[in-house]
Structure 1
Amino acid sequence: MKLNKKQLYKWLKRIGFSILTLIVLFTCFYASIYFGLWGKIPSNEKIVGLKQSQATQILDANNDLIGKLYIYDRQSITFSDFPQHLLDALIATEDVRFYEHNGVDNKSLLRVFFKTILLSDESSGGGSTITLQLAKNLFGREHSGAIGTVVNKIKESIVAKRIESLYSKKEILTLYLNTVPFPDNTYGIESASEKFFNVHTKDLNVWQAATLVGTLKANHSYNPRLFPEKSKARRNLVIDQMVNYKYLSDTDAAINKSKDIVLDYQYYAPNQGLAPYFRAEIKKQLDAILKQKKFTKPDGEQYNIYHDGLKIYTTLDNTMQRYAEEAMREHMKELQHQFEVAYGKRAPWLKNKPAYLEAKKRLKKYRDLKAKGLSEKAIEDELKKTHKTELFSWDETIIKTISTLDSLEYYSKFLNAGFLSLDPKTGAIKSYVGGIDYRFFQYDHISQSKRQVGSTFKPFVYTAAIENGMSPCTYFPLKAVTYTDEKNWTPTNSSDIEDEENLNYSLEKSLSNSVNTIAVKVLDEVGIDEVIKQAHNMGIKSDIEAVPSIALGSANLSMIELARAYTTYVNDSKPVTPVFITRIEDKNGNVIASYEDINPKAVTEKAYSDDTRQVLLEFMKATVNDGTANRLRTKYNLQNAIAGKTGTTQDNKDGWFVGITPKLVTLTWVGNDNQQIGFSNTGIGQGANSALPIFAKYLQKLNRDSKYNAITKAQFEYPTEEVLMSLDCELTKTDGFFKRLFGSKKDTIQFKEEPKKGIFSWLKKKKKDKDEDENLEENDN
């Protein structure tokens, strides 16, 4: 059927009117969006003053990233940090006409409009430019549905044009790559590079860059950690695009496509990755530091550790930390097996055993139900309800459907551990392991816990004795005595110590073999108050109860303060405060808080004399060479210069070892979090078996790494001739005939609170006069 001119004109008029109507409608629709009827559009001022949340970085002593604090895992870098092949991969894949348009690809926008509105084709695609994606990344979306998609696209096109008018192409690429989301809740190319490949962006190779660019299409679907094959196929498509647009040769493309995706994945979440207990402690300290007025922003506002992109420089050494964690895992897995086998069916964590029943009453859920007035049966029924949960295991994490009571029984059997290694000169913490697995045991046994320290307290008793004038060649009888004024308390020795009636040990032999009976006698001789005073001078902050049992380590102390006291033996007799943070910078590299701002001044006053230090160091070297820690030499074949002290508490509840080398002081503790549960026997529970091996394995790993030769091959100071002469005596002595015949046979005595007078006081005074004469002579010189 033919149309005449009149009809044709009529149809053309209708079409024209329809087109005009559409144009008017679209213009009105566009104007309604532009003027904010569909939500406010960011102004030029807001776009220019973009403030993006950035993660706070926690760096080790080598400036390597060990963790982050963030809501959005993002850290910014500059354009010069982007390798060219990264930019090429991005443009070839995401926006090949990036340098030609003004932020909007009009063809893509029209396609979305007509296909989505007129044809209801939800697969029409987005066709977004890099600038449009940046607009979306920066300001998000508010609407959904078909019309919402168009509204969002138009809003983003307006923002994109504004961005293009305010920023250069380089600046747009920098903004984009610093804000674009990558898999695993990671924002920005630098965070993604470090998380997936453990390299900085500038060090990404071609296939790594292509892998990360490939994930931009769908963060989850192309996550190389979860879906390596899909990610590889997408990476190869990106490389093909680089070839298509002449960014890469066929030969280079073939080489890079042949590579498997090998990740070096870094966990920066608070409960995963390297040094989680240390990072948790850093956060705690940051909260306290940044609340101080002197550390606020120039405008007086407080810094926000989750948003302001701070850099926290710490003392930790990431390699030493890794060795410490490996040593702990290797030993604790084996020790846990020994622990469970030794108890067998007699295990105290089994249901209906006293330790289990007491632990049940300490459960928060139990206390909450009890507070509601529920009967014991009703509480029991609630606690027996099952649920699916993830459980810790030394082999691999397991998922089980168990009740709260089952969970209590399961976790009550696990031994826990603490490990701290620091530089005794500076206090710099090099390794910090607060527990066996932060995901399941978040209680920090270094900074939060206080436990009885056992025989690791004995060196403080002997330090006080030597400092107060007692000769290293003073002998004490091994035999046990009963202290009648201390409720007939009779301290005894472990079964492997000879208990001959007339045998006497020197101080060196007594300490190196951790003889309980003599430690108490030395305390009796020196006086409790003198020993407590000496311990406090060495850096112990906790109150110490003035009772004779402190000679055997009944005091509850933290690992931090115990470490501080032991640093005196290799730090010129001065305690050093453990140091975590060396400085804090803002995101622009400006120092907010320096080392001096954060850390206390070094102690300048000696806790005791140089002679005392050298004597005690010789005593503790003997502990390693011939005493309770000699398995460091025999079993672990360690030839380093080492001094140390083992410790075991009553009923084998806690095992300790303090390892001293010239440039490291290292503490290890092992025990059950439920202090009602100890080891079943001393053979397993003694510090030499439960705690010492972690130190031994740690030092073995350091020995194998030549990077640490300066630490592992360091030697102790050589004692003075006077100190060597004072130590020149037999380690043991048997009473002579007349002493055996006429000596005291008393097995009961009263414990003295004050030091003995006579020769002891004279030696103390003589030593004090000698020190004063030396000081005067020094001043005269």
Structure 2
Amino acid sequence: MRKHIVQSLWAALILLVISASVFFVAVWNGWIGYMPDMEELSNPIDKFASQVYSADGKLMGTWNQDNANRVAIDYNNLSPHLVHALVATEDERFYEHSGIDFIALGRAIVKRGVMQQASAGGGSTITQQLAKQVYSEKAHSTFERLMQKPIEWIIAIKLERHFTKEEIIAMYFNYFDFLHNAVGIERAANIYFNKPPRRLSITQAATLVGLCKNPSMFNPLRYPKRCLQRRNVVLTQMCRSAYITKEELNELMARPLELDYKKTKPIEGAAEYFQAFLRRYMMAPKPVRNDYSEWQERQFVLDSIAWEQDPLYGWCNKNLKRNGEPYNVNTDGLRIYTTIDTRMQQYAEQAVRKHVGGYLQAQFNIANQYKKNAPFSNNISRATIKAILNRACKLSMRYQRLKEQGATPEEIRRSFQTPHEMTLFTYHGEIDTVMTPIDSVRYYKSFLRSAFVSMEPYTGAVKAYVGGIDYQHFKYDMVMGGRRQVGSTIKPFLYALAMQNGMTPCSTAPNVQRSYGGWTPRNGSRARYGQQVPLAWGLKFSNNWISAYLITLLGTSPFVGILHDFGLNNPDIEKYASPVLCLGPCEASVCEMASGYTTFVNHGIRCAPLFVTKIEDSHGNVIAKFQPLMNEVISEDNSYKMIGMLQGVVDGGTGSRLRYAFNIRNEVGGKTGTTNNNSDGWFMGFTPQLVNGCWVGGDDRDIHFDNMSLGQGATMALPIWAYYMQLVYADKRLGYSPSAKFKIPAGFDPCSVSDSTAVNGIQEIYQ
């Protein structure tokens, strides 16, 4: 009997050894689980990241699977204190093992697994931790995590075979996310201590290494005492490993954290909204109606048009690699050369921040002090406000996460009404506070939003792209993603249609209020009431009665047609197929509007926005080139007429603030726009070299100024345009000159009639 037991035990042991050997061979060769190949192991962090370059040759960012925008450095640029702190704390036998520390692993199994000692420490080496961070996705169960462990062991062994110990430590530090945009040790040292990694002191190095255990738990900004305690644990470990003496330990532990926190963007001029847009745009799949919800009909139409007309939209899925698979910007190491100029991008961001953050938001806060519904208008009910906030909650990450975890509607409601620790955005820096999530939703809605785009009219090259006031906290992109009512900025398109039908800036129209099928447009002024006024005057002062006269004269259908020619592809335009369309109730993006205005500068030819000039593969081969997409909208002569009229808007009309408030003296054409209740403020302006569009408004249409003086486009949006152009003209390196002139032939007569019969025929209708 005893013999049979011994034989059974030996058989079980042999079977276990064979099974384990087969399992590890299968894992080693990638038959079970995921095992990166040798080429990928040669640079596990960023070999396959796509690189995004600006037009002025700057690396704006990298796109990879973990969305991190790190700056890698080598081992020689690390402070020795960093290395000592990491080895002493995380892997004291780092220089002795080959990827797996069997002593530490055995201790962890016995003390933590068998004896349930939580303070016994882990068994993972620095190399294993690197393998986990680079290659393992987040486990959703204990079993899944156990299955990941053997794969990480083998990857760790392979990493040790292909890299030196110094290279592994450098990769570990380059990869780690230290929070607050501090991805990688270069960013962390700069953000937390305002110095490069090689100059970190012992205590500073210990602080950063302390974060490696759990950066959220030991967040030095939110939990400074907890972080200090963790730093001192690291210092104690350094003393145990003889990197510092006992006397040094006592002196160092008495020091404060010595933070010199400096919140910065990952890369200056990185155009975060633009990069996020471009990444989605290039990776977009071919639109299939069943993939869109019922309420996304408009988006389906817009995406379908983009798929057919724009080679860049869905480029990765329209083009295949040699192996027949579509490209992936996260893994194929592409080099993407954009049209963005980082200097102009910074100027655009500065202009938005200066006006919206430095002036307009303060005025909005003052206006909201005594509003019971703040930040919402007093004209809407509490029930409407509740519905808006509930809709915003359902779109939040917190709601989606709770729903995925199986929380009931009541549990989700309680979570949103329970105070939580959180970090909030302010224009003076982030603040840590305790607030209910529903109150934080309302808090964020109190911020005015803005979008700005700058493009060259002859090439369509987008030089600056600001989708919002702060990408980290307001990710919704209003340049290409969002659409708002355009107001009076639509009127130049109507006047262009009039020019195409034989009218001129000198043609006259009756300046009187009339009703059109039950619709009676209002006007902000009664100047020259009852007179026949030139069309140039009507556009200059944005007269609604003249616009209503023109659209009734010309017809709604031709106007809808020319709007599509100008690049306004929103299918909802058709639902406004009535005279009211002349006042801009339809919605468009800022980029669509800027593209439409290129028509006037570009001799009647609209230039679609150009975001990318070329794409190279990982070997430097050019695999795609992009040219501007253009279509003729109006005649060349009529484009000159429109330039003249839109210059009049700036020279004494609704856009004259550019002249008297900002001293912009060069040749400029433009148009302001303000929608009902001051919900949207617009300014579209162009010079001979640039077309810029700007929008300012609330997150919802019910969030707005209640008075016209602050709520009009000339106050909300125009100053951003002015600040931006002042900075652009001051930078002589850019090549944009205030002395540039519109290319209008000498002696051109804007009042010349190319087809008098057409004009007379139209005018006879109202005689």
> Aligning the two structures, in what range does the TM-score lie when normalised by the shorter sequence?
0.5 to 0.7
Cα deviation for residue 633 of structure 1 reads 1.6
Q: Give the corresponding residue for 1:436.
A: 469
Cα deviation for residue 608 of structure 1 reads 1.7
How has the CA–CA distance of structure 1 residues 312 and 194 changed in structure 2, closer, same or farther, with 3 Å as cutoff? farther
Q: 2:684 aligns with which of 658, 671, 681?
A: 658
Alignment of 1:614 onto 2:640: yes
Q: Gaps (5+ residues) in structure 2?
A: 1-11, 139-147, 244-257, 285-312, 395-408
Cα deviation for residue 124 of structure 1 reads 11
Q: 1:65 aligns with which of 44, 60, 64?
A: 60
**Aligned-partner residue type, residue 428 of structure 1:** A
- Coordinate RMSD, CA, aligned: 5.8
Q: Give the corresponding residue for 1:498.
A: 527
- 1:456, 1:658 within 8 Å by CA — same for their partners in 2? yes
Q: Gaps (5+ residues) in structure 1?
A: 1-27, 143-151, 245-259, 369-377, 730-754, 764-781
Q: 1:401 aligns with which of 405, 417, 435?
A: 435
Q: Give the corresponding residue for 2:246.
A: none
**Aligned-partner residue type, residue 58 of structure 2:** N
Q: C-alpha distance in 2, partners of 1:135/1:533? A: 58
Q: C-alpha distance in 2, partners of 1:461/1:87? A: 65
| Deviation readout 1:108-132 (Å, 9 max, x if unpaired) | 98899899999x9999999999878
State the TM-score, normalized to the length of structure 2.
0.68
Q: C-alpha distance in 2, partners of 1:759/1:284? A: 47
Cα deviation for residue 431 of structure 1 reads 2.4
Cα deviation for residue 567 of structure 1 reads 1.0
Cα deviation for residue 689 of structure 1 reads 0.9
- 2:317, 2:327 within 8 Å by CA — same for their partners in 1? no
Report % sequence identity. 28
* Equivalent position SS for 1:626: coil
Q: Give the corresponding residue for 1:40.
A: 24
The within-5 A match list for 1:340-739 is: 340-342=365-367, 344-345=370-371, 354-362=380-388, 364=390, 386-388=417-419, 390=422, 392-395=425-428, 397=431, 399-402=433-436, 404=438, 410=443, 413-477=446-510, 479-483=511-515, 486-495=516-525, 498-502=527-531, 504-542=532-570, 543-544=573-574, 545-586=576-617, 588-590=618-620, 593-596=623-626, 602-603=629-630, 605-708=631-734, 710-713=735-738, 715-723=740-748, 725-726=749-750
Q: C-alpha distance in 2, partners of 1:212/1:706? A: 43
Cα deviation for residue 644 of structure 1 reads 0.9
| Deviation readout 1:203-250 (Å, 9 max, x if unpaired) | 97842799789955763689998889999999999x99xxx9xxxxxx
- 1:360, 1:408 within 8 Å by CA — same for their partners in 2? no
| Deviation readout 1:622-647 (Å, 9 max, x if unpaired) | 22222111111211222343221111
Q: C-alpha distance in 2, partners of 1:555/1:281? A: 23
**Aligned-partner residue type, residue 557 of structure 1:** A
* Equivalent position SS for 1:721: coil
Q: Give the corresponding residue for 1:277.
A: 273
| Deviation readout 1:349-372 (Å, 9 max, x if unpaired) | 56996344224235556999xxxx
- 1:315, 1:428 within 8 Å by CA — same for their partners in 2? yes
Q: C-alpha distance in 2, partners of 1:759/1:153? A: 81
| Deviation readout 1:14-66 (Å, 9 max, x if unpaired) | xxxxxxxxxxxxxx999988984697376489686255464745524133234
Q: C-alpha distance in 1, partners of 2:478/2:118? A: 56
Q: C-alpha distance in 1, partners of 2:635/2:505? A: 14
- 1:278, 1:434 within 8 Å by CA — same for their partners in 2? yes
* Equivalent position SS for 1:613: helix
- 1:418, 1:446 within 8 Å by CA — same for their partners in 2? yes
- 2:504, 2:641 within 8 Å by CA — same for their partners in 1? no
Deviates more, 1:641-650 or 1:173-182: 173-182
Q: C-alpha distance in 1, partners of 2:588/2:456? A: 20
Q: C-alpha distance in 2, partners of 1:667/1:631? A: 16
**Aligned-partner residue type, residue 629 of structure 2:** A
Cα deviation for residue 688 of structure 1 reads 0.5
Q: C-alpha distance in 2, partners of 1:137/1:305? A: 20
| Deviation readout 1:554-579 (Å, 9 max, x if unpaired) | 33333232221101122232111113
- 2:503, 2:759 within 8 Å by CA — same for their partners in 1? no
- 1:53, 1:309 within 8 Å by CA — same for their partners in 2? no
How has the CA–CA distance of structure 1 residues 353 and 109 changed in structure 2, closer, same or farther, with 3 Å as cutoff? same
The within-5 A match list for 1:285-364 is: 285-288=281-284, 294-333=318-357, 334-342=359-367, 344-345=370-371, 354-362=380-388, 364=390
Deviates more, 1:439-448 or 1:561-570: 439-448
Q: C-alpha distance in 2, partners of 1:758/1:217? A: 79
* Equivalent position SS for 1:399: strand
Q: C-alpha distance in 2, partners of 1:190/1:584? A: 26
* Equivalent position SS for 2:476: coil
Q: C-alpha distance in 2, partners of 1:366/1:267? A: 27
How has the CA–CA distance of structure 1 residues 89 and 265 changed in structure 2, closer, same or farther, with 3 Å as cutoff? same
How has the CA–CA distance of structure 1 residues 346 and 401 changed in structure 2, closer, same or farther, with 3 Å as cutoff? closer
Q: C-alpha distance in 1, partners of 2:727/2:50? A: 28
| Deviation readout 1:514-535 (Å, 9 max, x if unpaired) | 2222233333444444443333
- 2:210, 2:234 within 8 Å by CA — same for their partners in 1? no
- 2:269, 2:343 within 8 Å by CA — same for their partners in 1? no
- 2:596, 2:606 within 8 Å by CA — same for their partners in 1? yes
State the TM-score, normalized to the length of structure 1.
0.67
Q: Give the corresponding residue for 2:250.
A: none
**Aligned-partner residue type, residue 760 of structure 1:** N
How has the CA–CA distance of structure 1 residues 418 and 461 changed in structure 2, closer, same or farther, with 3 Å as cutoff? same
Q: Give the corresponding residue for 1:760.
A: 760
* Equivalent position SS for 1:679: coil
In the comparison of the two structures, how many residue pairs are matched? 658
How has the CA–CA distance of structure 1 residues 608 and 209 changed in structure 2, closer, same or farther, with 3 Å as cutoff? farther
Q: Give the corresponding residue for 2:293.
A: none
* Equivalent position SS for 1:354: coil
Deviates more, 1:339-348 or 1:663-672: 339-348
Q: 1:177 aligns with which of 170, 194, 208?
A: 170
**Aligned-partner residue type, residue 330 of structure 1:** K
Q: C-alpha distance in 1, partners of 2:481/2:99? A: 58
Q: C-alpha distance in 2, partners of 1:690/1:300? A: 50
How has the CA–CA distance of structure 1 residues 466 and 135 changed in structure 2, closer, same or farther, with 3 Å as cutoff? closer
Q: C-alpha distance in 2, partners of 1:346/1:233? A: 50
- 1:470, 1:760 within 8 Å by CA — same for their partners in 2? no
Deviates more, 1:455-464 or 1:220-229: 220-229
Q: C-alpha distance in 2, partners of 1:68/1:575? A: 32
Alignment of 1:207 onto 2:199: yes
Q: Give the corresponding residue for 2:402.
A: none
Deviates more, 1:296-305 or 1:340-349: 340-349
* Equivalent position SS for 1:657: strand
Cα deviation for residue 157 of structure 1 reads 9.9
- 1:461, 1:522 within 8 Å by CA — same for their partners in 2? yes
Q: C-alpha distance in 2, partners of 1:69/1:679? A: 42
How has the CA–CA distance of structure 1 residues 209 and 296 changed in structure 2, closer, same or farther, with 3 Å as cutoff? farther
How has the CA–CA distance of structure 1 residues 70 and 388 changed in structure 2, closer, same or farther, with 3 Å as cutoff? farther
- 1:434, 1:444 within 8 Å by CA — same for their partners in 2? yes
| Deviation readout 1:54-87 (Å, 9 max, x if unpaired) | 474552413323464532748797xxx8475559
Deviates more, 1:302-311 or 1:217-226: 217-226
